[in-house]
Protein backbone atom coordinates (compact mmCIF):
# COMPACT_ATOMS: atom_id res chain seq x y z
CA UNK A 1 0.00 0.00 0.00
CA UNK A 2 1.45 3.40 -0.98
CA UNK A 3 2.54 5.55 1.95
CA UNK A 4 0.18 8.39 0.98
CA UNK A 5 -2.87 6.10 1.11
CA UNK A 6 -1.76 4.65 4.46
CA UNK A 7 -1.36 8.15 5.88
CA UNK A 8 -4.86 9.09 4.71
CA UNK A 9 -6.31 6.00 6.33
CA UNK A 10 -4.51 6.74 9.61
CA UNK A 11 -5.65 10.37 9.45
CA UNK A 12 -9.30 9.32 9.18
CA UNK A 13 -8.90 6.87 12.07
CA UNK A 14 -7.25 9.52 14.27
CA UNK A 15 -9.94 12.09 13.42
CA UNK A 16 -12.79 9.72 14.28
CA UNK A 17 -11.19 8.61 17.55
CA UNK A 18 -10.57 12.22 18.61
CA UNK A 19 -14.20 13.08 17.82
CA UNK A 20 -15.86 10.08 19.48
CA UNK A 21 -13.70 9.13 22.46
CA UNK A 22 -15.49 11.08 25.19
CA UNK A 23 -18.92 10.07 23.87
CA UNK A 24 -17.64 6.51 24.02
CA UNK A 25 -16.63 6.93 27.67
CA UNK A 26 -19.95 8.54 28.55
CA UNK A 27 -21.89 5.75 26.82
CA UNK A 28 -20.09 2.89 28.60
CA UNK A 29 -20.48 4.62 31.98
CA UNK A 30 -24.20 4.86 31.24
CA UNK A 31 -24.26 1.13 30.53
CA UNK A 32 -22.49 0.50 33.84
CA UNK A 33 -25.08 2.55 35.74
CA UNK A 34 -27.97 0.71 34.05
CA UNK A 35 -26.43 -2.63 34.98
CA UNK A 36 -25.42 -1.48 38.46
CA UNK A 37 -28.97 -0.49 39.37
CA UNK A 38 -30.44 -3.47 37.45
CA UNK A 39 -32.71 -1.14 35.53
CA UNK A 40 -32.86 -3.45 32.49
CA UNK A 41 -33.92 -6.41 34.64
CA UNK A 42 -36.60 -4.38 36.40
CA UNK A 43 -38.02 -3.27 33.08
CA UNK A 44 -37.93 -6.86 31.84
CA UNK A 45 -40.15 -7.89 34.75
CA UNK A 46 -42.53 -5.04 33.96
CA UNK A 47 -42.89 -6.33 30.39
CA UNK A 48 -44.03 -9.71 31.66
CA UNK A 49 -46.71 -8.08 33.82
CA UNK A 50 -47.81 -5.40 31.36
CA UNK A 51 -50.76 -7.22 29.76
CA UNK A 52 -52.25 -5.27 26.85
CA UNK A 53 -49.54 -2.60 27.19
CA UNK A 54 -46.79 -5.18 26.75
CA UNK A 55 -45.81 -4.13 23.23
CA UNK A 56 -45.36 -0.47 24.17
CA UNK A 57 -43.38 -1.36 27.28
CA UNK A 58 -41.26 -3.89 25.35
CA UNK A 59 -40.34 -1.15 22.87
CA UNK A 60 -39.46 1.12 25.81
CA UNK A 61 -37.23 -1.57 27.30
CA UNK A 62 -35.55 -2.08 23.92
CA UNK A 63 -34.88 1.65 23.65
CA UNK A 64 -33.02 1.81 26.98
CA UNK A 65 -31.41 -1.63 26.88
CA UNK A 66 -27.72 -1.48 25.85
CA UNK A 67 -27.94 -4.88 24.16
CA UNK A 68 -27.39 -5.87 20.53
CA UNK A 69 -29.28 -8.56 18.59
CA UNK A 70 -27.25 -11.35 20.23
CA UNK A 71 -27.07 -9.70 23.66
CA UNK A 72 -30.86 -9.41 23.98
CA UNK A 73 -31.37 -13.17 23.51
CA UNK A 74 -30.91 -14.14 27.20
CA UNK A 75 -33.55 -11.58 28.16
CA UNK A 76 -35.95 -12.91 25.52
CA UNK A 77 -35.35 -16.51 26.65
CA UNK A 78 -36.12 -15.56 30.25
CA UNK A 79 -39.30 -13.75 29.20
CA UNK A 80 -40.36 -16.64 26.96
CA UNK A 81 -39.97 -19.14 29.80
CA UNK A 82 -42.16 -16.89 31.97
CA UNK A 83 -44.95 -17.10 29.41
CA UNK A 84 -44.66 -13.61 27.92
CA UNK A 85 -46.83 -13.25 24.79
CA UNK A 86 -45.14 -13.42 21.40
CA UNK A 87 -45.91 -9.84 20.29
CA UNK A 88 -43.90 -8.10 23.08
CA UNK A 89 -41.04 -10.57 22.57
CA UNK A 90 -40.75 -9.69 18.88
CA UNK A 91 -41.14 -5.96 19.61
CA UNK A 92 -38.21 -6.22 22.03
CA UNK A 93 -36.14 -8.27 19.57
CA UNK A 94 -36.62 -5.64 16.86
CA UNK A 95 -36.06 -2.53 19.00
CA UNK A 96 -33.09 -3.46 21.18
CA UNK A 97 -30.56 -4.21 18.40
CA UNK A 98 -31.19 -0.78 16.84
CA UNK A 99 -31.39 1.43 19.91
CA UNK A 100 -29.74 1.88 23.27
CA UNK A 101 -28.51 4.84 25.28
CA UNK A 102 -24.90 4.13 24.36
CA UNK A 103 -25.75 3.75 20.68
CA UNK A 104 -27.77 6.97 20.73
CA UNK A 105 -24.87 8.96 22.20
CA UNK A 106 -22.38 7.50 19.74
CA UNK A 107 -24.76 8.12 16.83
CA UNK A 108 -25.00 11.76 17.89
CA UNK A 109 -21.21 11.94 18.08
CA UNK A 110 -20.48 10.09 14.85
CA UNK A 111 -23.36 11.16 12.60
CA UNK A 112 -24.92 14.24 14.20
CA UNK A 113 -28.20 15.20 15.84
CA UNK A 114 -30.38 14.49 12.79
CA UNK A 115 -29.29 10.87 12.58
CA UNK A 116 -29.59 10.38 16.34
CA UNK A 117 -33.22 11.58 16.16
CA UNK A 118 -33.90 9.39 13.10
CA UNK A 119 -32.40 6.40 14.90
CA UNK A 120 -34.60 7.01 17.96
CA UNK A 121 -37.81 7.51 15.98
CA UNK A 122 -37.03 4.69 13.54
CA UNK A 123 -36.34 2.16 16.30
CA UNK A 124 -39.60 3.05 18.04
CA UNK A 125 -41.59 2.85 14.81
CA UNK A 126 -40.09 -0.51 13.82
CA UNK A 127 -40.59 -2.02 17.27
CA UNK A 128 -44.22 -0.92 17.53
CA UNK A 129 -44.97 -2.04 13.98
CA UNK A 130 -43.40 -5.46 14.55
CA UNK A 131 -45.31 -5.99 17.79
CA UNK A 132 -48.65 -4.93 16.30
CA UNK A 133 -48.20 -7.06 13.17
CA UNK A 134 -47.33 -10.12 15.25
CA UNK A 135 -50.29 -9.47 17.56
CA UNK A 136 -52.60 -9.30 14.52
CA UNK A 137 -51.16 -12.53 13.11
CA UNK A 138 -51.66 -14.25 16.47
CA UNK A 139 -55.31 -13.19 16.53
CA UNK A 140 -55.80 -14.38 12.95
CA UNK A 141 -54.34 -17.77 13.85
CA UNK A 142 -51.19 -17.65 11.71
CA UNK A 143 -48.98 -17.34 14.80
CA UNK A 144 -51.46 -18.81 17.29
CA UNK A 145 -50.44 -21.47 19.76
CA UNK A 146 -47.00 -22.23 21.14
CA UNK A 147 -44.46 -20.78 18.70
CA UNK A 148 -41.47 -21.23 21.01
CA UNK A 149 -39.42 -24.37 20.46
CA UNK A 150 -37.27 -23.96 23.58
CA UNK A 151 -38.01 -26.32 26.42
CA UNK A 152 -37.53 -25.15 30.01
CA UNK A 153 -34.70 -26.50 32.11
CA UNK A 154 -35.01 -26.72 35.89
CA UNK A 155 -32.35 -27.08 38.52
CA UNK A 156 -32.40 -29.75 41.24
CA UNK A 157 -34.28 -27.44 43.62
CA UNK A 158 -37.05 -26.96 41.05
CA UNK A 159 -36.17 -23.39 40.08
CA UNK A 160 -35.90 -22.36 36.44
CA UNK A 161 -32.35 -22.52 35.11
CA UNK A 162 -30.58 -19.50 33.64
CA UNK A 163 -31.12 -18.39 30.05
CA UNK A 164 -27.61 -19.62 29.21
CA UNK A 165 -28.39 -23.11 30.54
CA UNK A 166 -31.75 -23.24 28.76
CA UNK A 167 -30.18 -22.10 25.50
CA UNK A 168 -27.34 -24.62 25.76
CA UNK A 169 -29.76 -27.48 26.46
CA UNK A 170 -31.74 -26.55 23.35
CA UNK A 171 -28.74 -26.04 21.07
CA UNK A 172 -28.94 -22.22 21.06
CA UNK A 173 -25.71 -20.29 21.60
CA UNK A 174 -26.26 -17.53 24.16
CA UNK A 175 -23.64 -15.07 25.29
CA UNK A 176 -22.90 -15.07 28.99
CA UNK A 177 -20.35 -13.71 31.40
CA UNK A 178 -19.44 -14.41 34.99
CA UNK A 179 -20.80 -11.64 37.21
CA UNK A 180 -18.77 -11.34 40.41
CA UNK A 181 -20.85 -9.92 43.29
CA UNK A 182 -19.42 -6.78 44.87
CA UNK A 183 -20.08 -5.37 48.30
CA UNK A 184 -19.77 -1.88 46.84
CA UNK A 185 -22.28 -0.85 44.17
CA UNK A 186 -19.73 1.64 42.84
CA UNK A 187 -17.24 -1.19 42.33
CA UNK A 188 -19.91 -3.23 40.56
CA UNK A 189 -20.75 -0.29 38.27
CA UNK A 190 -17.05 0.14 37.49
CA UNK A 191 -16.79 -3.57 36.62
CA UNK A 192 -19.77 -3.37 34.26
CA UNK A 193 -18.43 -0.16 32.72
CA UNK A 194 -15.13 -1.90 31.99
CA UNK A 195 -16.99 -4.88 30.49
CA UNK A 196 -18.94 -2.53 28.21
CA UNK A 197 -15.82 -0.59 27.25
CA UNK A 198 -13.95 -3.75 26.22
CA UNK A 199 -16.91 -5.18 24.32
CA UNK A 200 -18.01 -2.00 22.56
CA UNK A 201 -14.51 -0.62 22.10
CA UNK A 202 -13.14 -3.48 20.00
CA UNK A 203 -16.09 -3.38 17.60
CA UNK A 204 -16.09 0.39 17.42
CA UNK A 205 -12.37 0.50 16.63
CA UNK A 206 -12.79 -2.14 13.92
CA UNK A 207 -15.68 -0.17 12.44
CA UNK A 208 -13.62 3.06 12.45
CA UNK A 209 -10.91 1.23 10.50
CA UNK A 210 -13.57 0.05 8.03
CA UNK A 211 -14.84 3.63 7.73
CA UNK A 212 -11.32 4.81 6.89
CA UNK A 213 -10.97 2.11 4.25
CA UNK A 214 -14.33 3.04 2.72
CA UNK A 215 -13.49 6.75 2.61
CA UNK A 216 -10.03 6.15 1.19
CA UNK A 217 -10.33 3.12 -1.08
CA UNK A 218 -13.94 2.55 -2.20
CA UNK A 219 -14.55 4.20 -5.59
CA UNK A 220 -17.34 6.76 -5.62
CA UNK A 221 -18.83 5.04 -8.67
CA UNK A 222 -19.54 1.90 -6.64
CA UNK A 223 -21.50 3.87 -4.03
CA UNK A 224 -23.37 5.79 -6.71
CA UNK A 225 -24.29 2.61 -8.56
CA UNK A 226 -25.62 0.71 -5.52
CA UNK A 227 -27.02 3.23 -3.08
CA UNK A 228 -26.09 6.70 -4.31
CA UNK A 229 -29.25 7.65 -6.16
CA UNK A 230 -32.46 8.97 -4.60
CA UNK A 231 -34.51 6.08 -5.92
CA UNK A 232 -36.64 3.08 -5.08
CA UNK A 233 -33.75 0.75 -5.94
CA UNK A 234 -31.13 2.39 -3.69
CA UNK A 235 -33.25 1.88 -0.57
CA UNK A 236 -34.02 -1.72 -1.52
CA UNK A 237 -30.30 -2.31 -2.15
CA UNK A 238 -29.47 -0.89 1.30
CA UNK A 239 -31.94 -3.29 2.90
CA UNK A 240 -30.40 -6.26 1.09
CA UNK A 241 -26.87 -5.11 1.98
CA UNK A 242 -27.90 -4.78 5.62
CA UNK A 243 -29.14 -8.38 5.79
CA UNK A 244 -25.74 -10.13 5.77
CA UNK A 245 -23.79 -7.21 7.23
CA UNK A 246 -22.31 -8.44 10.57
CA UNK A 247 -22.85 -5.18 12.46
CA UNK A 248 -24.66 -4.26 15.64
CA UNK A 249 -25.90 -0.83 16.69
CA UNK A 250 -22.38 0.47 17.48
CA UNK A 251 -20.17 -0.57 14.52
CA UNK A 252 -22.79 0.56 11.98
CA UNK A 253 -22.20 4.20 13.02
CA UNK A 254 -18.66 4.78 11.67
CA UNK A 255 -19.37 2.53 8.67
CA UNK A 256 -22.38 4.67 7.80
CA UNK A 257 -20.34 7.83 8.39
CA UNK A 258 -17.89 6.66 5.73
CA UNK A 259 -20.70 5.86 3.30
CA UNK A 260 -22.34 9.24 3.89
CA UNK A 261 -19.05 10.94 3.13
CA UNK A 262 -18.90 8.98 -0.13
CA UNK A 263 -22.38 10.14 -1.12
CA UNK A 264 -24.85 7.42 -0.09
CA UNK A 265 -28.48 8.50 -0.51
CA UNK A 266 -29.94 9.51 2.87
CA UNK A 267 -33.01 7.32 2.48
CA UNK A 268 -30.76 4.34 1.79
CA UNK A 269 -28.59 5.36 4.75
CA UNK A 270 -31.62 5.32 7.08
CA UNK A 271 -32.58 1.86 5.83
CA UNK A 272 -29.05 0.60 6.44
CA UNK A 273 -28.99 2.18 9.92
CA UNK A 274 -32.14 0.21 10.79
CA UNK A 275 -31.62 -3.01 8.82
CA UNK A 276 -27.95 -3.66 9.59
CA UNK A 277 -28.27 -4.18 13.36
CA UNK A 278 -31.68 -5.90 13.37
CA UNK A 279 -30.73 -8.58 10.83
CA UNK A 280 -27.50 -9.82 12.39
CA UNK A 281 -26.90 -13.34 11.04
CA UNK A 282 -25.74 -14.87 14.38
CA UNK A 283 -28.92 -13.57 16.00
CA UNK A 284 -31.09 -14.91 13.18
CA UNK A 285 -29.50 -18.35 13.55
CA UNK A 286 -30.22 -18.24 17.29
CA UNK A 287 -33.83 -17.19 16.67
CA UNK A 288 -34.14 -20.09 14.24
CA UNK A 289 -33.46 -22.40 17.18
CA UNK A 290 -35.77 -20.53 19.57
CA UNK A 291 -38.92 -20.06 17.51
CA UNK A 292 -40.88 -21.91 14.87
CA UNK A 293 -39.87 -21.07 11.31
CA UNK A 294 -42.81 -18.81 10.53
CA UNK A 295 -41.97 -16.57 13.51
CA UNK A 296 -38.43 -15.99 12.23
CA UNK A 297 -39.71 -15.28 8.72
CA UNK A 298 -42.23 -12.78 10.08
CA UNK A 299 -39.48 -11.16 12.16
CA UNK A 300 -37.25 -10.75 9.12
CA UNK A 301 -40.10 -9.61 6.89
CA UNK A 302 -41.38 -6.99 9.33
CA UNK A 303 -37.98 -5.65 10.40
CA UNK A 304 -36.38 -5.49 6.93
CA UNK A 305 -39.63 -4.45 5.25
CA UNK A 306 -40.14 -1.73 7.85
CA UNK A 307 -36.57 -0.48 7.40
CA UNK A 308 -37.11 -0.22 3.63
CA UNK A 309 -40.43 1.61 4.13
CA UNK A 310 -38.73 4.09 6.46
CA UNK A 311 -36.08 4.73 3.82
CA UNK A 312 -38.68 5.30 1.12
CA UNK A 313 -40.66 7.55 3.45
CA UNK A 314 -37.56 9.62 4.18
CA UNK A 315 -36.88 9.96 0.45
CA UNK A 316 -40.47 11.02 -0.17
CA UNK A 317 -40.72 13.68 2.54
CA UNK A 318 -37.17 14.99 2.79
The model's pTM? 0.77
Give 10-residue mean pLDDT values along the chain (318 residues). 73 76 70 68 66 81 72 74 84 86 85 92 94 92 85 75 73 63 74 74 73 69 66 84 68 82 87 82 77 91 92 88
Q: So what's the pLDDT on residue 22?
A: 66
**Cα–Cα nearest to 78, from 172, 143, 196:** 172
Torsion, CA 210, CA 215, CA 218, CA 220, rounded to 10: 150
For residue 244, the model assigns a pLDDT of 63
| Residue 53 burial (CB count, 10 A) | 13
Determine contact, residues 80/148, Cβ cutoff 8 Å: yes
Distance CA 17, CA 250 (A): 14
pLDDT at 311: 92
* Predicted pLDDT at 180: 58
Amino acid sequence: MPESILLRILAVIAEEISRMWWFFLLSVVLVGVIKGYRLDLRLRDYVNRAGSYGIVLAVGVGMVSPLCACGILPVVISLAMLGTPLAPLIALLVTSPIMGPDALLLTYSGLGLKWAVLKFLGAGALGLSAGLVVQALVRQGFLAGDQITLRPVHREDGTLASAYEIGSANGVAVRTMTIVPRASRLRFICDRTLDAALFVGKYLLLAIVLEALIVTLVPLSWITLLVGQKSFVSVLSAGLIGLPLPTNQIPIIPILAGLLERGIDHGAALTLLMAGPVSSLPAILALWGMFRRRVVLVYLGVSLGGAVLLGWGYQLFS
